[in-house]
């Protein structure tokens, strides 16, 4: 590492470690003393099982300073050569308005927020997501939209599985338009094959009647740019009792008749070109819209309107979507982390431009495409596209490659479709100069270039009248109020300040690792050479990215003990699914395809069984013992029972109970003896970094959540990255890609598991964040971070133990990096639920810990290494004060149905009414002195979830009365 980094400019070496880790030396000493320890290293002996410890030195010995990291990444970005992209295929250049870039993408108030489970402290991002849903509803014409999925290709795959659940057809065939994006077809094929569906890729206008099928998937406009009237194939799908999905380009829908008007059942697509940079593949938000009658089957989260206890309008996640994977192997989808930050940006893009602005942008793109085509025709070439929005295909017999090379010399990437055809896709950034440059490429050097203004006057509309849209879009006031930058800036700030994110206080969410997302780590995502790159450019243009992947892979292999990583999965859930496919493939080529049982401990996160079901595996639950560990006896019994049908064990380590099991190695050995493979859920890797290499102690595959352990911010519920690491025998099967070669360089004769995301390296642009974190911390810094995370968690456990029972500890009373406090007694003694405690914490200015996972009636607290003693004490003080408030109820001194917890959170509105609560304003609103300096005012009181689920309303209400009249 040191050579590669050229470490000559290390003027501030080591500083960052102290910036990242909260407690300074004195605080760490004090906290250690409270635990009866002397040195941080003592935690290793006390807490971590000796047989999992890594004794080999790591290669990551160097650290570089914040300044040096930026310099280094600048050099890396220079190796990315950004050309004008006209490749299309689902990725288009776009202009992210500066006001949104500065106030959202680069604002920790937005990017450090958590998924909006605690709706009262999330009203800002919930409103932004509701705007996104409204925009999708308007553009697609559908009745209902969700608040984002991971990418267009996986959204199509989700549409396919939803079609299987809802379609009456008993066929197992999926018909896919051959003019779909190739990455979409590949992802559908992967997903279909693990579920046992057949896929037919064909021309939907040719003999569709001959087939029985349950899902029809169409692209609108097609990948070639051609726009077809899809009414006829959709009608056939309906005759066949199948559901029809239209993957539609959002910008084209500004002009085109929406999918709903074609009678589509599901509309999906990417919101990338609404202001989100291409980023060499991601992250971007996909959208998913459907009919109201299907609302209970929709994958991902839906934001809906409800009301709070005061009758005030309030937003929250609707229906089952709050915790979809809670249904485990019966779940509709395994999606957990999605793409909230990117959906927020796309929604704001529509808010800022409004209907007229979008019409201008879409209209210009279309006009330029027509002018370009006319000029190419004038110069004697054949444009084969008949009806198009922004993409044309030019026929160049045997010359496609040569033309593309010439265009490249002129600074433009075209799509080479085959030897005879090139595709050209225009976008918001296209100018007249680009058109002239292209003509120069197509026109013979001596001929005159066409005259743009002359052509402009002679164009006739190529989209038939019946496919042009006639209805108004974006009529809701939010899309017309904020078109000046001043108003826009204030609107975004108004929303941000309604929320609690990490820029306000600690967010002690167990299993989610809400640690520092340092400003330096975030810088490279704003570098043009990282974010303006199309994912399908030739590799020689993307050498900076290739270097980033290689270096990050080396770093992660070093830390985990695995031999190879795939960055393709866009979240932990996708990593799980991919890892299980890799395991299935391994068994298949070893003649063991009967191995279809996946053992999963009862304590596992809901995504584990949901992913196993998606991978076509049968879930068998392994019990946990009284200490929360996997029951080795039950594991033996299940292995004996299922014998050579066992494919894998999925195990989370340390467990979701926040404890290092002693038997991890033994468990892995038992599974291996039975011929199974070990999948490790690495969401809790923050307790292991620098101490333990899972690949060396028994795990065969593991996903990491880079948005947990490796500092990619949560973004309010995404983006995430869920790369998987594998041991050598599994590396050949890691995903590849239909468009870009060399994604899995170890691919062998048996092929790979296929493609699991639209982009070859998933959400490539945010990998710079994790790279920067590891580069600045080095092995020593990372180990120190891990030990501090253990210190902080054990300190919390020690402080709270006299007040709340700690549910699980190891034999000596230690926890790992998080702890679970048991609150179930309070229901009996004081009629207080964990929910009440969570909401009361808001009055103290805190976001609640994880509620009711992995055990009902508990709170799981993970302070992470980034919080210092003062902040942790402030949180513990609040928890202890709340315990005291519960005691007041238990003792009968506070009313059982009218008390500080029951009525929490308390809002400013209470101050405007006659005060008739049986406690003081100060107790309610200023429970400790911290609120005097900096009071967080929740914008709404306790939200009524049941009301919202009975009166489902998931678009922007004009006012409260309209939301009410939308009741069903
Ligand atoms: C967060 C988490 C997951 C799911 O990861 P996503 O990135 O949200 O898909 C799986 N398992 C555990 C234990 C987790 O904490």
Q: Closest residue (by CA) to atom 14 of ligand 1? A: 683
957 Cβ below 6 A of ligand 1: no
605 Cα to the center of ligand 1, angstroms: 7
pLDDT, residue 457, reads 79
Topology, domain 780-950: 3.90.1150
Backbone torsion region of residue 937, taken as left when φ is above 0, otherwise alpha when ψ lies between -120 and 50, otherwise beta? beta
Residue 682 CB less than 6 A away from ligand 1: no
Whether the bond between 160 and the residue before it is cis, its omega within 30 degrees of 0, is no
Degrees to nearest 5, angle at CA 426 with 423 and 432: 120
Q: How far is CA 597 from CA 230, 541, 630, 738, in A?
A: 41, 44, 17, 30
User: Of all atoms in ligand 1, which is nearest to the CA of residue 708?
Assistant: 1
What is the pLDDT at residue 447?
62
Looking at residue 961, what is its pLDDT? 43
pLDDT score recorded for residue 450: 79
- Our mutation pick for probing the ligand 1 site, out of 326, 579, 705, counting the most ligand atoms within 8 A of Cβ, is 705
Cα 915 to ligand 1 centroid, rounded to whole Å:
44
Instruction: Give the single-character DSSP code of 386.
Output: S
Write the pLDDT tens digit of every residue in 24-73: 999 999 999 999 999 999 999 999 999 999 999 999 988 999 999 999 99
End-to-end CA distance of the chain: 61
Please give the share of the chain, as a percent, with pLDDT higher than 90: 91
Calculate the CA 866 to chain-centre distance.
23
Residue-wise pLDDT for 147-178, tens only, equals 999 999 999 999 999 999 999 999 999 999 99
CATH class of the domain defined by 2-78+538-776? alpha beta
* Residue 963, pLDDT score: 45
Could you tell me the two tokens for 186? 């590949």
CA distance 487 to 485: 5
Ligand 1 centroid to Cα of residue 592, in Å, is: 29
Q: Would the CB of 413 count as within 6 Å of ligand 1?
A: no
pLDDT band at residue 959 using 50, 70 and 90 as cut-offs = low
- Residue from 336, 716, 719 to probe ligand 1 pocket by mutation (most atoms less than 8 Å from CB): 336
> What pLDDT score does 325 carry?
66
- In short, whether 605's Cβ falls inside 6 Å of ligand 1 is yes
pLDDT at 945: 81
Residue 654 preceded by cis peptide, ω within 30: yes
Q: At what angle do helices 340-378 and 123-140 cross, to 10 degrees?
A: 30
Q: Is the CB of 656 under 6 A from ligand 1?
A: yes
Residue 9 has pLDDT above 60, yes or no: no
pLDDT on residue 446: 55
pLDDT band at residue 350 under the 50/70/90 scheme:
very high
Tell me how far apart the alpha carbons of residues 520 and 74 are, in angstroms, rounded to a whole number: 12
> CATH topology of 2-78+538-776 equal to that of 780-950?
no
The pLDDT mean for the chain works out to: 94
Query: Which of 189, 954, 286, 785 has its CA nearest to residue 571?
Result: 286
| Predicted pLDDT at 245 | 98
Lowest mean pLDDT among 342-351, 394-403, 938-947: 938-947
Instruction: Fill in the DSSP letter of residue 391.
Output: E
| pLDDT at residue 176 in the model | 98
Instruction: Tell me the angle at which helices 182-195 and 607-614 cross, rounded to the nearest 10 degrees.
Output: 90
CA nearest to 761, candidates 522, 536, 526 = 536
Atom number in ligand 1 closest to CA 722: 7
**831 token code pair:** 């009629």
Spacing, Cα 286 to ligand 1 middle (Å): 19
Distance of CA 886 from the midpoint of ligand 1 (Å) = 32
Which tokens belong to 228? Answer: 């077809």
pLDDT in tens, 622-680: 999 988 899 999 999 999 999 999 999 999 999 999 999 999 999 999 999 999 999 99
Q: Determine whether the shortest distance from the Cβ of 161 to ligand 1 is under 6 A.
A: no
The C-alpha R_g of the chain, in whole angstroms, comes to 28
- Residue pointed to by tokens 């709270």: 800
What's the pLDDT band for 952 if we cut at 50, 70, 90?
Answer: confident
| Tokens encoding 189 | 């094929």
Using CA atoms in the order 219, 225, 227, 230, what is the torsion angle rounded to 10 degrees? -20
Cα 67 to chain centroid distance, Å, stands at: 29
User: Do residues 152 and 289 make contact, with C-beta atoms less than 8 angstroms apart?
Assistant: no
pLDDT-derived band at 321 (thresholds 50, 70, 90) equals low
Instruction: Assess whether the C-beta atom of 655 lies below 6 angstroms from ligand 1.
Output: no
Write down the pLDDT at residue 324. Answer: 63
> Would you list the domain boundaries of the chain?
2-78+538-776, 108-339, 780-950
The closest-lying atom of ligand 1 relative to the alpha carbon of residue 575 is 9
Mean pLDDT of 802-818: 96
Q: Are strands 266-270 and 646-652 parallel, antiparallel or unpaired?
A: unpaired
Alpha-carbon distance of 529 to 527, in angstroms, equals 6
- Is pLDDT of 459 > 90? no
Nearest CA among 638, 584, 642 for reference residue 613:
584
Ligand 1 centroid, distance to 866 Cα (angstroms): 20
- For residue 566, give both structure tokens: 């795939």
Q: Per CATH, the architecture of 108-339 is what? A: 3-Layer(aba) Sandwich (3.40)
Predicted local confidence at residue 455, as pLDDT:
82
Give me 127's structure tokens. Answer: 């409103």
Take atom 2 of ligand 1 and give the residue whose Cα is closest: 683
Percent of the chain topping pLDDT 70: 96
Q: How far is the CA of 208 from the centre of ligand 1 (A)?
A: 41
**Which pLDDT score, from 0 to 100, does residue 7 have?**
38
Q: What is the pLDDT of residue 949?
A: 80
Distance CA 725, CA 686 (A): 16
- Give the per-residue pLDDT at 323: 59
d(CA 374, CA 383): 9
Q: Which helix (H) or strand (E) holds 392?
A: strand 391-395
**694 neighbors 546 (Cβ within 8 angstroms):** no
**pLDDT, tens digit, 9 for 90 and up, residues 385-432:** 999 999 999 999 999 999 999 999 999 999 999 999 999 999 999 999
Q: Which of 300, 326, 337 to mutate to test the pocket of ligand 1 (most atoms within 8 A of CB)?
A: 337
pLDDT of residue 948: 81
The residues, ordered by sequence, that sit 6+ positions from 500 with a Cβ below 8 Å of its Cβ are: 113, 118, 121, 122, 507, 842, 845, 846, 847, 936
11: pLDDT strictly greater than 70: no
């Amino acid at each position: 590492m040191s050579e590669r980094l050229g470490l000559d400019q290390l003027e501030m070496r080591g500083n960052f470690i102290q910036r990242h880790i909260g407690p300074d030396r004195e605080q760490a000493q004090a906290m250690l003393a409270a635990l009866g320890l002397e040195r941080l290293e003592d935690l290793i002996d006390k807490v971590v099982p000796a047989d999992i410890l890594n004794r080999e030195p790591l290669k990551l010995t160097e650290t570089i300073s914040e300044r040096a990291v930026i310099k280094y990444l600048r050099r890396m970005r220079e190796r990315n050569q950004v050309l004008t992209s006209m490749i299309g295929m689902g990725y288009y250049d776009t202009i992210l308005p500066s006001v949104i870039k500065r106030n959202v993408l680069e604002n920790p108030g937005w990017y450090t927020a958590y998924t909006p489970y605690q709706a009262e402290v999330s009203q800002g991002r919930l409103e932004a997501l509701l705007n996104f849903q409204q925009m999708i509803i308007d553009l697609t014409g559908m009745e209902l939209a969700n608040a984002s999925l991971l990418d267009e290709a996986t959204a199509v795959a989700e549409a396919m599985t939803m079609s299987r659940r809802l379609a009456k057809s008993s066929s197992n065939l999926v018909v896919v338009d051959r003019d779909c994006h190739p990455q979409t077809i590949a992802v559908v094929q992967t997903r279909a094959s693990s579920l046992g569906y057949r896929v037919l890729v064909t021309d939907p206008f040719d003999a569709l009647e001959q087939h029985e099928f349950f899902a029809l998937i169409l692209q609108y406009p097609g990948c070639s740019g051609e726009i077809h009237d899809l009414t006829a194939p959709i009608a056939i799908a309906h005759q066949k009792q199948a559901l029809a999905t239209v993957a539609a380009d959002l910008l084209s829908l500004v002009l085109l008749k929406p999918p709903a008007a074609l009678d589509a059942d599901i509309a999906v697509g990417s919101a990338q070109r609404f202001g989100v940079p291409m980023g060499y593949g991601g992250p971007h938000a996909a959208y998913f819209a459907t009919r109201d009658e299907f609302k209970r089957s929709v994958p991902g989260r839906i934001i809906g309107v409800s009301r709070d206890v005061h009758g005030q309008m309030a937003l929250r996640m609707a229906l089952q979507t709050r915790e979809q994977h809670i249904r485990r192997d019966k779940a509709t989808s395994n999606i957990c982390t999605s793409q909230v930050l990117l959906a927020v940006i796309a929604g704001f893009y529509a808010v800022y431009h409004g209907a007229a602005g979008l019409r201008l942008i879409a209209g210009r793109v279309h006009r330029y495409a027509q002018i370009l085509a006319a000029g190419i025709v004038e110069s004697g070439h054949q444009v084969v596209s008949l009806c198009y929005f922004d993409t044309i295909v030019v026929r160049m017999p045997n010359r496609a490659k040569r033309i593309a090379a010439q265009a490249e010399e002129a600074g433009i990437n075209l799509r080479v479709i085959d030897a005879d055809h090139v595709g050209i896709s225009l976008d918001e950034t296209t100018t007249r100069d680009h058109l002239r440059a292209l003509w120069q490429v197509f026109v013979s050097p001596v001929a005159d270039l066409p005259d743009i203004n002359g052509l402009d006057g002679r164009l006739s509309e190529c989209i038939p009248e019946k496919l042009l849209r006639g209805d108004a879009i974006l009529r809701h006031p939010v899309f017309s109020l904020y078109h000046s930058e001043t108003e826009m800036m204030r609107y975004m700030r108004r929303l941000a300040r309604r929320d609690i994110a990490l820029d306000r206080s600690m967010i002690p969410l167990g299993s989610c690792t809400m640690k520092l997302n340092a400003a330096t780590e975030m810088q490279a995502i704003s570098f043009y050479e990282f974010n303006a790159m199309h994912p399908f450019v030739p590799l020689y243009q993307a050498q900076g990215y290739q270097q980033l992947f290689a270096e990050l892979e080396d770093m992660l292999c070093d830390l985990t003990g695995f031999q190879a990583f795939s960055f393709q999965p866009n979240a932990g859930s996708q990593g799980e699914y991919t890892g299980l496919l890799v395991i299935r493939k391994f068994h298949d080529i070893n003649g063991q395809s009967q191995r279809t049982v996946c053992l999963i401990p009862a304590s596992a996160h809901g995504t584990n069984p949901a992913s196993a079901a998606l991978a076509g595996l049968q879930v068998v639950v392994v019990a946990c013992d009284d200490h929360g560990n996997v029951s080795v006896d039950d594991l033996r019994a299940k292995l004996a029972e299922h014998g050579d049908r066992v494919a894998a064990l999925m195990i989370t380590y340390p467990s979701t109970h926040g404890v290092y099991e002693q038997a991890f190695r033994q468990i892995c050995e038992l599974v291996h003896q039975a011929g199974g493979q070990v999948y490790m859920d690495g969401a809790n890797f923050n307790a292991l970094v620098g101490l333990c290499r899972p690949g060396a102690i028994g795990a065969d595959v593991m996903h990491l959540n880079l948005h947990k352990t490796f500092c990619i911010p949560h973004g309010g519920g995404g983006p995430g990255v869920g790369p998987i690491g594998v041991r050598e025998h599994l590396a050949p099967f890691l995903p590849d890609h239909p468009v870009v070669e060399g994604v899995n360089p170890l691919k062998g004769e048996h092929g790979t598991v296929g493609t699991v995301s639209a982009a070859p390296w998933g959400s490539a642009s945010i990998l710079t964040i994790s790279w920067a974190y590891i580069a600045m911390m080095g092995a020593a810094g990372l180990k120190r971070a891990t030990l501090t995370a253990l210190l902080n968690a054990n300190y919390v456990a020690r402080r709270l133990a006299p007040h709340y029972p700690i549910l699980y500890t190891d034999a000596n009373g230690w926890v790992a990096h998080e702890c679970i406090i048991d609150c179930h007694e309070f229901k009996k003694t004081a009629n207080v639920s964990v929910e009440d405690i969570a909401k009361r914490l808001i009055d103290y200015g805190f976001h609640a810990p994880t509620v009711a996972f992995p055990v009902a009636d508990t709170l799981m607290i993970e302070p992470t290494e980034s919080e210092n003693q003062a902040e942790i004490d402030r949180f513990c003080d609040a928890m202890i004060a709340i315990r005291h408030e519960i005691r007041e109820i238990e003792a009968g001194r506070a009313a059982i149905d009218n008390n500080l917890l029951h009525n929490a959170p308390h809002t400013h509105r209470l101050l405007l009414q006659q005060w008739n609560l049986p406690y003081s304003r100060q107790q309610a609103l200023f429970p400790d002195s911290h609120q005097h300096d900096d009071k967080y005012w929740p914008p709404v009181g306790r939200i009524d979830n049941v009301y919202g689920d009975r009166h489902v309303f998931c678009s922007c209400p004009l006012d409260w009365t309209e939301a009410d009249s939308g009741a069903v």
